[in-house]
A and B are shown apart, each in its own frame.
Chain A
Amino acid sequence: MPSNLRVKSSEFIDETIRISFKFNGKSYHGFKGDTLASALLANDVHLVGRSFKYHRPRGIMTAGSEEPNAIVQVNDKTNRTEPNVRATEVEIYEGLEASSQNCWPNVNFDIGGINNALSAFLPAGFYYKTFMWPASFWEKYEYFIRHSAGLGKSPTEKDPDIYDHRHVHCDVLVVGAGISGILAAKNAAKNNFKTLLVDEKNELGGATIYQNREFNIIEGLSSSDWIKKEIQELKHIKNLEIKTRTSVAAYHSYNYLLARENLTDHLEKKDKQGKIRQRLLKIRAKKVILSTGALERPLIFNNNDRPGIMLSSAVNKYADFYGVVSGKKNVFFTNNDSAYESALCLHNKGIKVEAIIDIRENSDSKIVKTVENAGIAIHWSHTIVDTKGYKRLNSISVMKLSNDGLSVTGNKIDISCDCLGVAGGWTPAVHLFTQSGGKLTFNESDKVFLPNKYPSDQLSVGSCNGDFKIKEIINNLSTNLKQFLKIEKTDFDNLSIESEEENSKRNIWLLPSDKSIGKTKPFVDYQNDATAKDIKLALREGFRSIEHVKRYTTTGMGTDQGKLGNMHALGIIADTAGVKMGELGTTTFRPPYTPLTFGTIVGRNVGEYFDIFRRTPMNDWHIENKAEFENVGQWKRAWYYPVNGESMHDAVQRESKAARESAGILDASTLGKIDIQGSDASEFLNRVYTNAWSKLGIGKCRYGLMLNEDGMVYDDGVTTRLGENHYLMTTTTGGAANVLGKLEDYLQTEWPELDVYLTSVTDHYATTSICGPNSKKILNKIIPDLDLSEESFPHMSFKNAQIGNIKCRIMRISFTGEHSYEINVQANYGKAIWEKCMEAGKEFNITPYGTETMHLLRAEKGFIIVGQDTDGTMTPIDLQMDWIVSKKKYDFIGKRSLYRSDTMKEERKQLVGLLTDDPNIVLEEGAQIVSKLNESPVNMLGHVTSSYYSPNLKKSIALAVVRSGKHMMGKKLFIPMENKNINVTVANPVFFDSENKRLNA
């Protein structure tokens, strides 16, 4: 390592702990406290990546999360690799491996660099225009573009790390722990506000803590010594929680913020094991104080993007905080006093500063005088017109600015240098403020957008509110904080403060060159390679809205959202279009402020925790008996029970035959169950179902169809009258929650006069359904004293019974068309009763069947499944279920809609049966139905909704919805498939036992 790039040891870097790491396969070392960026700079590595479009060599520009260029891929392992990480935010650890992105085959020889030479043909909108070419062109381009200009690699394996979510509630959230954040948090906590202070960095204190500013004196101490004392005090304050390495990603309405807490990324590999890597904090704060600081702006001039060109403040931070010198020959280029602070910082460390180029005419501030007295050359009213050096800056060309700042005059001066610190002023970090819905106002004198109208209980303080000097930061904070927190005083009301004053200002958004703009490359958005030239082109092509210019030029659309250059883009648009910046507005800053990992977003909700699984009380039995499962909503339902390696088809055929020939058993616990009580319960059912309920006797069951107000079938199920004012309603498995919600809605908002109470009891009862000709014998074995005669216990009735000590409700209802019983018991007894049925049914070869067989059996009977044979566009009339729609009832939900001209049309799609001419062909569900082949355009009549091979009928059967289907009985239709046309005949949808003889067998 070139040792002369480390200056006198910094207190933030522990030089006793050496850390080795690899970058682009080469080994380097740094010290504890270094970021990847500072360690690379200490090793004299500036070239770290290639730009997105032109593949120009790029270096480290900043020392923070706003970094546009030094974007790296961390850890080249297939499962733990992460793209698009800012080298300025990666804290190095032993064994870290990182590599450049956007370059292929490597950063030093990059084939896409040819785009730079071709840049005249790659203007703004190139990609959009390319996309508009014929699709075949795009396919060719896609390979090239993806390969050469990708934004990093995704991991190819499952992420092995643990991520977490946590809800956080606090009285005051302070975002940013610079000087104003620290003072605000301290005083909030001291006044009994439960306070949370977060900062994206690993150290508190912002820039104040490391900058050695001899002109900033607080209470007789330098500002950095004073802030260190303040930070020490924070540790002893109650009510205050501090989280470092925590970046606020999003600020939503009602003071709801999302922050990412980084817990292990900075640790050595062995220390990461088994720990939570990142945690998403979901913060609800009563009050929010934003002290997010300000970002330094670059200056926009020709070839302003070479490795070695950095922000002046970054040069300063690398020197003061990391003890790293970014260059041996340093020059600064500025429009304000900030660069003089950086120059002085280097000078005081004994590092040569060649020159300062200042676009202002002069300045008489104290710091400028000090720099002048130090013998550093200052070129007033000058600008940089060009830079040289392909992979590293080696010289700049400087010329005098005209009075209007639009052109340059005089001779060109070349200055040799390897590091250029650029200071274009400061942009308050108002991103979070605007995310929250805050409105900005433009401050003409500082050329900044500042918070204006707060949308929630929040306050912006410090430089994100436009206060840049320590004196104004502290004084304004004192006034605003007292008002915001409604407190009498703060502990910094009467500090003695001395700070620098800056007097002269000059701002030029786009600095002129001696070349015409067409021949220059003044980059505005470094990450997306958008230049001032592109913005001007967009305006020439007629774009006016800044949102359009942004999309056309891709300015601000990178992963950094253009944090550095957005203001210049706006300025150049305003200047070119001749409008005021305040009237132009800004583009929208969107969450996240810095990129989030997918892991952080999903937290623990991965794998089996992605969604809730609901399991029935008999679930263990199904698993023990090798059931295959299917997801029905959140339920895991037994699908079929393969025996001896049977295929699904064979299992279902066997189960279906067994259920009709002897006995089958089904776990029906997932059906929705709603307990309905109250003196108006019958009237309520009358209003929500299409059929009549008033005359249903106690102990009887009835099937009901429920519509939406638009007349379309919504749900169905059997409801049992348990008592005078007591019903038990069943719903479909998937519809249970929605049905309850809908019924509550009507009850509370339309019919509050009804005395009815609804309770969901789905999880409270387990339901075992036994069916088939031997089901009666089986039930008789289990409950010998229960009268199962037709007279006492007919179809569609219910009895209370007892199996041992277990109370049960037995309904004689059927979804298969077979004689069957549903035994409902308290959920805990579900498995015991199921096993009792299995035992009693053994001699009858009782066969467990799953949802697939249930669907097949009901299809044989032509029973619909809401959601499979209906899709929200089917009325009961469409389903040929006219019999269930009461003509006598004055009203029920959806009744009026059945008489709309549209719902009464004869040519609506109607449910029919379909039989294939070849009984062995089973149709595909979803297949389209036509009446004529070779018609163009194809006139599609409908589609197949359910289709099975029926082992009981020994032929293929299907249900379908077909336009005017009810008038097509016996008609031949076609199902055109990829390789063949299938001939079908429209049939009655009840294929099996249409006289319902088996129900009473």
Chain B
Amino acid sequence: MFVINCPYCGERDQQEFKAGGEAHIERPKQPTELSDDEWAEYLFMRKNIKGIQFERWNHAHGCRKWFNMVRDTSNDEIKLIYKMGERPPSE
């Protein structure tokens, strides 16, 4: 069970949070222009990395804010937390 440092509330227990999958997958601005394959790429394809992964998390039982997390999925070490809309660090 992690301790997560919510960028709005501070350190809280993992059970207050909900994981939201891979981060930085932007919803296409013009979905109708996309082929079935391109839409499927957005809709279904996720990396699921063993190692450093960029994820979305939500402080569901707290401030309800979404934020980004860089986590090593092999040992659950949280490397970095940053707000929605902020650019991901370059590795």
Report the bound CA distance from A254 to B15 in whole Å.
13
Report the bound CA distance from A95 to B74 in whole Å.
51
Return chain B residues, CB-CB under 8 Å to A752: 84-85
Report the bound CA distance from A750 to B84 in whole Å.
10
Interface residues of B in 21-40 (CB under 8 A from A): 26-28, 30-32, 34, 36, 39-40
Report the bound CA distance from A738 to B2 in whole Å.
23
- B75 at interface (Cβ–Cβ under 8 A)? yes
Q: Is there contact, CB below 8 Å, between A253 and B20?
A: no
1/0 per residue, CB under 8 A from B, across A426-454: the answer is: 00000000000100000000000000000
Q: Is there contact, CB below 8 Å, between B64 and A895?
A: no
Q: Is there contact, CB below 8 Å, between A741 and B75?
A: no
Report the bound CA distance from A525 to B34 in whole Å.
62
Interface residues of A in 705-726 (CB under 8 A from B): 709-710
Distance of A56 from chain B, by nearest CB (Å): 42
The answer to whether residues A253 and B1 also contact, given A741-B58, A749-B84, A891-B31 and a CB cut-off of 8 A, is yes
Size of the chain B interface, CB-CB below 8 angstroms: 28
Residue of B nearest to A750 (CB): B27
1/0 per residue, CB under 8 A from B, across A885-901: the answer is: 00000110001110111
Q: Is there contact, CB below 8 Å, between B60 and A896?
A: no
- B18 at interface (Cβ–Cβ under 8 A)? yes
Return chain A residues, CB-CB under 8 Å to B1: 252-254, 256
Return chain A residues, CB-CB under 8 Å to B76: 253-254, 437
- A744 at interface (Cβ–Cβ under 8 A)? yes
Q: Is there contact, CB below 8 Å, between B34 and A896?
A: yes
The answer to whether residues A745 and B58 also contact, given A284-B13, A890-B32, A891-B32 and a CB cut-off of 8 A, is yes
1/0 per residue, CB under 8 A from B, across A972-999: the answer is: 0000000000000000000000000000
1/0 per residue, CB under 8 A from A, across B1-21: the answer is: 111000000000110001010
Distance of B13 from chain A, by nearest CB (Å): 7
Return chain B residues, CB-CB under 8 Å to A625: none
- A150 at interface (Cβ–Cβ under 8 A)? no
Return chain B residues, CB-CB under 8 Å to A744: 58, 64, 66
Interface residues of A in 249-273 (CB under 8 A from B): 252-254, 256
Return chain B residues, CB-CB under 8 Å to A253: 1-2, 75-76
- B80 at interface (Cβ–Cβ under 8 A)? no
Q: Is there contact, CB below 8 Å, between B20 and A895?
A: no
Size of the chain A interface, CB-CB below 8 angstroms: 24
1/0 per residue, CB under 8 A from B, across A747-784: the answer is: 01110100000000000000000000000000000000
Residue of B nearest to A890 (CB): B32
Q: Is there contact, CB below 8 Å, between A284 and B3?
A: yes
Return chain B residues, CB-CB under 8 Å to A749: 56, 66, 84
Return chain B residues, CB-CB under 8 Å to A896: 28, 31-32, 34, 39
Interface residues of A in 368-424 (CB under 8 A from B): none
Report the bound CA distance from A253 to B65 in whole Å.
24
Among A252, A745, A748, A890, max chain B CB count under 10 A is at: A748
Report the bound CA distance from A252 to B15 in whole Å.
14
- A455 at interface (Cβ–Cβ under 8 A)? yes
- B49 at interface (Cβ–Cβ under 8 A)? no
Distance of B33 from chain A, by nearest CB (Å): 9
Q: Is there contact, CB below 8 Å, between B75 and A437?
A: yes
Residue of B nearest to A282 (CB): B1
Q: Is there contact, CB below 8 Å, between B31 and A745?
A: no
Residue of A nearest to B34 (CB): A896
1/0 per residue, CB under 8 A from B, across A501-541: the answer is: 00000000000000000000000000000000000000000
Contact of B39 (CB < 8 Å), options: A437, A750, A891, A900? A900
Interface residues of B in 56-72 (CB under 8 A from A): 56, 58, 60, 64-66
1/0 per residue, CB under 8 A from B, across A604-624: the answer is: 000000000000000000000
Return chain A residues, CB-CB under 8 Å to B14: 254
Report the bound CA distance from A748 to B8 in whole Å.
14
Interface residues of A in 723-753 (CB under 8 A from B): 741, 744-745, 748-750, 752
Distance of B54 from chain A, by nearest CB (Å): 13
Return chain A residues, CB-CB under 8 Å to B36: 900-901
Return chain B residues, CB-CB under 8 Å to A437: 75-76
Residue of B nearest to A745 (CB): B66
Return chain B residues, CB-CB under 8 Å to A901: 36
Q: Is there contact, CB below 8 Å, between A254 and B2?
A: yes
Among A891, A896, A901, max chain B CB count under 10 A is at: A896
Report the bound CA distance from A899 to B18 in whole Å.
31
Report the bound CA distance from A896 to B36 in whole Å.
9
Distance of B19 from chain A, by nearest CB (Å): 12
Q: Is there contact, CB below 8 Å, between B60 and A709?
A: no
Distance of A708 from chain B, by nearest CB (Å): 10
Q: Is there contact, CB below 8 Å, between A748 and B3?
A: no
Return chain A residues, CB-CB under 8 Å to B34: 896
1/0 per residue, CB under 8 A from B, across A14-53: the answer is: 0000000000000000000000000000000000000000
Q: Is there contact, CB below 8 Å, between A709 and B43?
A: yes
Q: Is there contact, CB below 8 Å, between B20 and A745?
A: yes
Contact of B43 (CB < 8 Å), options: A254, A710, A741, A899? A710
Residue of A nearest to B36 (CB): A900
Return chain A residues, CB-CB under 8 Å to B43: 709-710, 897
Q: Is there contact, CB below 8 Å, between B84 and A895?
A: no
Interface residues of A in 862-902 (CB under 8 A from B): 890-891, 895-897, 899-901
Residue of B nearest to A709 (CB): B43
Q: Is there contact, CB below 8 Å, between B85 and A741?
A: no
Distance of B24 from chain A, by nearest CB (Å): 10
Distance of A712 from chain B, by nearest CB (Å): 11
Report the bound CA distance from A254 to B39 in whole Å.
38
Report the bound CA distance from A709 to B14 in whole Å.
27
Report the bound CA distance from A745 to B27 in whole Å.
12
Return chain A residues, CB-CB under 8 Å to B85: 752
Report the bound CA distance from A254 to B3 in whole Å.
7
Report the bound CA distance from A899 to B33 in whole Å.
12
Return chain B residues, CB-CB under 8 Å to A897: 39, 43
Return chain A residues, CB-CB under 8 Å to B58: 741, 744-745
1/0 per residue, CB under 8 A from B, across A465-500: the answer is: 000000000000000000000000000000000000
Interface residues of A in 219-257 (CB under 8 A from B): 252-254, 256
Report the bound CA distance from A555 to B39 in whole Å.
51
The answer to whether residues A748 and B75 also contact, given A253-B1, A891-B31 and a CB cut-off of 8 A, is no
Return chain B residues, CB-CB under 8 Å to A745: 20, 58, 66
Distance of A517 from chain B, by nearest CB (Å): 41
Q: Is there contact, CB below 8 Å, between A741 and B18?
A: yes
Return chain A residues, CB-CB under 8 Å to B56: 749
Q: Is there contact, CB below 8 Å, between A455 and B75?
A: yes
Residue of A nearest to B1 (CB): A256
Residue of A nearest to B39 (CB): A896
Report the bound CA distance from A744 to B66 in whole Å.
9
Among B27, B30, B60, max chain A CB count under 10 A is at: B27
Report the bound CA distance from A254 to B30 in whole Å.
42
Report the bound CA distance from A885 to B71 in whole Å.
40
Report the bound CA distance from A749 to B26 in whole Å.
9
Q: Is there contact, CB below 8 Å, between A895 and B31?
A: yes
Return chain A residues, CB-CB under 8 Å to B75: 253, 437, 455
Contact of A748 (CB < 8 Å), options: B26, B32, B65? B65
Residue of B nearest to A902 (CB): B36
Residue of B nearest to A711 (CB): B43
Report the bound CA distance from A256 to B84 in whole Å.
28
Report the bound CA distance from A901 to B18 in whole Å.
33
12 residue pairs of the A-B complex, CB under 8 angstroms, read: A252-B1, A254-B3, A256-B1, A284-B3, A709-B43, A745-B58, A749-B84, A750-B27, A752-B84, A891-B31, A895-B32, A897-B43
- Give 3 nearest A-B pairs by CB, closest first: A896-B31, A256-B1, A748-B66
Given contacts A253-B75, A455-B75, A895-B31, 16 further A-B contacts (CB under 8 A): A252-B1, A253-B76, A254-B1, A254-B3, A256-B1, A284-B13, A710-B43, A744-B58, A744-B66, A748-B65, A749-B84, A891-B30, A896-B32, A896-B39, A900-B39, A901-B36
Which residues of A pack against B, CB within 8 Å?
252-254, 256, 284, 437, 455, 709-710, 741, 744-745, 748-750, 752, 890-891, 895-897, 899-901
